Structure 1
């Protein structure tokens, strides 16, 4: 039983929850998602638009994959055409477009998990809760979920996640907490997240333009010798940062994209850092 838990969930924040099996990680996530209610204490503040991916997704439902996503989209307040468009988009991003018309009970475990993740993302939640959401996904889908998490944080959402792989989103989390002795405390050395793979982006804005506020991943920045700016950011935030710079008003010009010094890189390239595939979950 969890006791004395005190946790703030600010916007633009990625939070990792750690702890041994059976310590209450899933219980905490269910409380945050509003599925369970605390027997003592209270959860304060405005209830954000929330989406949740459970550790185990029940596929025994009378829907096709696309039909289920459209149904959930409607529950979240989307019109049917918009829900259908987003369902197609997310199934495509996770490599499951070919299963759009497949009944949920006939899907493989991995494809079912892609549907579970897609239903949480299509409504663009303000609070995204992920309980071992990467389990069962193939390498490409895991990478896509990493990017989707970075996009939600960049858009101002709060993402809270649990994962068995200590490397998951390494370099991106703003805070890491650990459940110990029925309580919650800052993990030792946290946030170690800021020391993982990083990307350096050389960019130039229009003359006199200030650096845009609220850039994804809170990048470090320094003047470049050519008068531009060198941004250094966690690798998982690099796509969102590039998008923010290119769509700024006025837009910035991207001059170079490279791995930050000291990061593993594919031989003979000067592109983004190489991330070795994460082993499949047992």
Structure 2
């Protein structure tokens, strides 16, 4: 079982005498957790994410519990000597997949992100938006235990942004952890397990609002074995779960994650029977 990723009194500066970008940072990222990082431009958010992703090493302190990690940087180098599919297949093989499995995963993620038409296009000829889709795909195809996203939604179209949100839900439902930065305060609003602010080189945890759901919700009524227990990935996905009768449950899930929930229910062994799916309106005060 994967252990926590821990930063202990970690600091980072560039050069032996450079100013400290971060110092005295303590952070624990447990499996299945969704963590948001906020802060002003240039405050050190990207530096923190690079430490978490293992791109940079701390100048002081230590990092323990390194999981299998994938990273989407703020700026992705598009001018690489590959086609989109070739690049993803190559990285999939680096992650330990066979060439066949890597090619299959590459095709699946290009399709999901709406970039299948550009599979054979050289990376140098891709638009900024299509290049960003490849950047996201390369992080997801290996099913990482820790996914680090630095402004990963920037440049994506509406459908691809929604698909990335679904992928985040899938990773956390599967027990992976996700740490992200995004300039839009509405991104995954109400869903993070923890929110941190980088300020003056320090990391401060912000209080997470109570359990009231934010945004449109979907209610799913399901039926399983009378003595059946909801699968763990289902429990991690839902906002609330109420057992209405032996084996029958009423589940509430944020609308963007409803398809993740349904997939988990239908692929469970034995599968759960979906009785009813109903979309609810936004909860009062959820709009920003």
* Alignment TM-score, normalising by the size of structure 1: 0.87
Q: What residue in structure 1 maps to residue 144 of structure 2?
A: 125
Map of 2:18 onto structure 1: none
Give the counterpart of 1:62 among 77, 81, 85: 81
Instruction: Give the match for residue 29 of structure 1.
Output: 49
Corresponding residue for 2:64?
Answer: 44
1:94-138 deviations in whole A, cap 9, x for unaligned? 111111111111000000000000000001111100000000000
User: Which of 72, 89, 109 is 2:128 aligned to?
Assistant: 109
Instruction: Report the Cα offset of residue 218 of structure 1.
Output: 4.8
Structure 2 matches for 1:177-188, cutoff 5 A? 177-187=196-206
Report the Cα offset of residue 53 of structure 1.
0.3
Distance across 1 between alignment mates of 2:230 and 2:79: 50
Q: 1:172: which partner in 2?
A: 191
Q: 2:17 matched to 1:17?
A: no
Distance 1:3 1:192, change over 3 A: farther
2:7 corresponds in structure 1 to none
1:195 aligns to 2:213 (yes or no): yes
1:234 equivalent to 2:254? Answer: yes
SS of the equivalent of 1:61 reads coil
Q: Which runs of 5+ in 1 are unaligned?
A: 265-274, 277-282
Establish whether residue 100 from structure 1 lines up as the match of residue 119 from structure 2. Answer: yes
Return 5+ residue gaps in structure 2 as ranges: 1-20
List per-residue Cα deviations over 1:39-78 (Å, max 9, x = no partner): 0100012x21110000011111111111110111111111
8 Å contact from structure 2 (residues 39, 199) kept in 1: yes
- The corresponding residue for 1:243 is 263
Bigger strand share: 2
Q: Report deviation, 1:225.
A: 7.2
Deviation of 1:9 after TM superposition, in Å, equals 0.9
Q: Determine the structure 1 residue equivalent to 2:167.
A: 148
TM-score normalized with structure 2 length: 0.86
Asked if residue 254 in structure 1 is aligned to residue 280 in structure 2, the reply is no
Q: CA deviation at 1:86?
A: 0.7
Is 2:211 the counterpart of 1:211?
no
RMSD: 2.1
Aligned: 1:83 with 2:102: yes
Kept in 2, the 8 Å contact 1:173–1:191? The answer is: no
Aligned residues: 264
Quote the offset at 1:205 in angstroms: 1.3
- Does the 8 A contact of 2:224 with 2:247 survive in 1? no
Deviations 1:221-243 (A, max 9, x none): 22337972111123333222222
SS in 2 for 1:41: strand
Question: In the alignment, what sits opposite 1:222?
Answer: 242
